[in-house]
Amino acid sequence: MAAASFKRICLNSFKSSCCFANCSSLSNRKMSTQSCSFVDVEKLGKLMLIGINRPEKKNAVNSEVAKQLVEHFNRFDDDEDSLAAVLYGKGGTFCAGYDLAAVSEQTDDLPVRLPQGQGPMGPSRMYFSKPVVAAVDGYAVAGGLELALMCDLRVVEESAIMGVFCRRFGVPLIDGGTVRLPALIGLSRAMDMMLTGRAVSAKEAFEWGLANRIVATGTALGQAINLANSLVKFPQECLRVDRRSAYYATFDAKSLDDALKFENLNAAHVLQQESIAGATAFTRGVGRHGKFNLHAEFRKPTSKS
């Protein structure tokens, strides 16, 4: 059942020959599947795949979808065996934002005050301790753009469109868009997107740094899985503290001095925990000439000869 499930993902997402090769090797890994009414969750090796499953609404989020997304991202962050997550949309669209039909039916004041870390789109105000990769196809607009911005990396199909489409209908960005977008691409370009609401192509998004990878149409999920898997092979504590220090410097630091002090204190324990083992492996010849396939080599005993 698990192999059949992953073969289905491969057929839909791995179009290039290299992706099919990766599919073959991944299909033998341990994987479990859980399906919810609006969110599909699959465990694939050290990854957790979280898929918005509302294709008839272009994966627009309502309160129930938001609730389920929060539940599963909390589960991901608490799961010590899940080292990275991939967020995607099923049916050819990443996410078209919040369901405006649900907004139009709201008779009372819309809930703006939500539990700590939660936004109308669900996990958009959360901070995760581990990397999350977005697999963007179709449209990632309005709140859907904000979910993509929430992720550490964005793999974007060449035909995908990103934009602040909610500009047309008087719906503000309240899921981190005005905070994360300027930090990622600069204030001037963020203002271009936010004030005009125009469609931004994958090519332009890549040139701006909004997209980290451009991939062929139909391959975003598979390529995002490949990218996420490339992260889990590294020493994880080192990866996480560097990630945390970068976020602190970008959003929390009061000054350069504050950011530098945090970086030092945040990473100090890694020197003993992972760095010495890494340096020892290097002296044995591991990782020379830019080789990256080396994490397992850290565990090999030092030769006594």
pLDDT digits (tens, 9 = 90+) for 213-271: 999 999 999 999 999 999 999 999 999 999 999 999 999 999 999 999 999 999 999 88
| 95 and 52 Cβ atoms separated by less than 8 Å | yes
Q: What is the pLDDT of residue 103?
A: 83
Q: What is the pTM of this model?
A: 0.81
Average pLDDT on 108-137 reads: 84
Residue 127 burial (C-beta neighbours within 10 Å; 0-12, 13-18, 19+): exposed
Residue 148 burial (C-beta neighbours within 10 Å; 0-12, 13-18, 19+): buried
Q: What is the pLDDT of residue 285?
A: 65
Q: 3-state DSSP call for residue 49?
A: strand
Q: 3-state DSSP call for residue 70?
A: helix
- d(Cα 128, Cα 48) in Å, to the nearest integer? 13
Quick one: pLDDT band at residue 3, thresholds 50, 70, 90?
A: very low
Is the torsion defined by CA of 88, 176, 234, 82 positive or negative?
Answer: negative
Quick one: pLDDT band at residue 102, thresholds 50, 70, 90?
A: confident
Q: 3-state DSSP call for residue 54?
A: coil
Q: What is the pLDDT of residue 27?
A: 35
Average pLDDT on 74-80 reads: 97
Residue 98 has pLDDT above 60, yes or no: yes
Average pLDDT on 79-89 reads: 97
CB within 8 A of 230, min separation 6: which ones? 292
CB within 8 A of 68, min separation 6: which ones? 36, 37, 38, 39, 122
Residue 255 burial (C-beta neighbours within 10 Å; 0-12, 13-18, 19+): exposed
Q: Determine the length of the chain.
A: 305
